[in-house]
Amino acid sequence: ALQGQGVEAPTAPMTTSERLGVSKIRLESQLREALAARGLELGLQPLMDVDSGRIAGYEALVRWHHPERGPISPAEFVALAEETSLIVPVGEYVMDAACESVARLVEAGHGQPFVAVNVSARQLSHPGLVERIVARADAARLPRGTLKLEITESQVLDYDLVGEVIALCHAHGIKVALDDFGTGYSHLAHLHRLDFDVLKVDQAFSRNMVADPRAMAVVEAIVQLGRALQAEIVVEGVETRPQLEALRRLGCHYAQGYLIGRPRTLAQILADPVPGRFGG
Ligand code: C2E
Ligand code: MG
Ligand code: MG
Ligand code: MG
């Protein structure tokens, strides 16, 4: 649901430990164990170049297979990892696995896909983040321009800090995406302060765009805003062909969603690459 509409404070979502009925401390220690035992996995979700219909890159999405409770969504455990500082080692695991996965895809003849990795605000304030990312990308021999960091818009509280991180990324040739654009509290008045390369439009906008002309008008306006700011536009949550066709008409650059492909493991992608089915 959209947050931050109107004057009401958003209600606090249920925490992971509340939902699972285990203590936060126990869950935290289980996450720590999972991390040490490589019990976290990466899902890679394809992004399609809307014009060519080709898969241009992937977003890395972390997965936790809890021994007793099965898969736990990152929407839940990332919040827990952010409360503790576990998000820093979790983020490093994701960065390593993402770089390594792309290197494997390149080896297997998948061209040179980009990879987008989510980073939490908590990681941004951790010194040396960008330098460590650069070292990993170089070790995996990824061209730096194929690495994109996704920063969630609603997590941007300190514009100076995020601005510095973006400048540092650019100095090293890494791109930055503003994720979940338009949800959470509106930062439109401050948008010009962030020199991001990619605007990711949240699925809350694409969901109704085909059925509701007003929703379509909003997506169109965001695409134009992105273009005016010289950013690439990614629209998330693309689940139907009519949505994809509308995005093609609007001149959106990349589409991401279940229509294009669900997040899959590297092994799944290597076994069944899903060739460009949506040729433009
Ligand atoms: P996000 O970065 O906005 O990622 C997109 C989310 O939308 C993913 O959920 C993805 O599986 C889901 N999605 C993709 N296409 C569709 C679609 O067509 N329909 C619907 N209904 N959903 C779709 P996921 O994997 O559960 O991740 C949730 C959030 O958790 C992410 O949102 C991101 O903010 C965070 N997250 C995921 N991995 C990481 C990570 O490694 N580090 C950090 N800090 N956060 C992460
Ligand atoms: Mg993201
Ligand atoms: Mg997003
Ligand atoms: Mg989202």
pLDDT band at 260 (very low <50, low <70, confident <90, very high): very high
In this prediction, residues 164-186 reach a mean pLDDT of: 91
185 pLDDT band (50/70/90 cuts)?
A: low
pLDDT of residue 13: 61
Q: State the Cα–Cα distance between residues 231 and 248, nearest whole angstrom.
A: 16
Cα 138 to chain center, whole Å? Answer: 21
Tokens read off for 95: 């960065």
Q: Is 60 exceeded by the pLDDT of residue 4?
A: no
Instruction: Please give the ipTM for the structure prediction.
Output: 0.97
- Taking only the tens place, the pLDDT of each residue in 136-158 is 999 999 999 999 999 998 888 89
For the chain, give the mean pLDDT. 89
Query: Other CB atoms closer than 10 Å to residue 83's CB: what's the count?
Result: 15
Report whether residue 177 contacts ligand 1, using a CB cutoff of 6 Å.
no
Report pLDDT for 6.
Answer: 43
Angle at 195 (CA atoms; ends 116, 62), nearest 5 degrees: 20
The minimum-distance atom of ligand 1 relative to the CA of 263 is 11
In this model, does residue 56 exceed pLDDT 60? yes
Q: How many angstroms is it from 255 CA to the middle of ligand 3?
A: 12
**What is the distance in A from the centroid of ligand 3 to the CA of 134?**
23
pLDDT at 109 over 80: yes
Query: Which range among 16-25, 64-73, 91-100, 155-164 shows the weakest confidence by mean pLDDT?
Result: 16-25
CA of 228 to the centre of ligand 2 (A): 22
Contact of 54 with 4, CB cutoff 8 Å: no
Q: Is the CB of 203 under 6 A from ligand 1?
A: yes
**Nearest ligand, measured from the Cα of 150:** 2
- pTM comes to 0.91
Distance from Cα 73 to the centre of ligand 3, integer Å: 14
- Residue 42: in which H helix or E strand, if any? strand 40-49
Across 165-186, average pLDDT: 91
In angstroms, rounded to a whole number, what is the distance separating the alpha carbons of residues 106 and 135? Answer: 19
Least distant ligand from the CA of 201: 3
Please indicate whether residue 263, judged by its CB atom, sits closer than 6 Å to ligand 1: yes
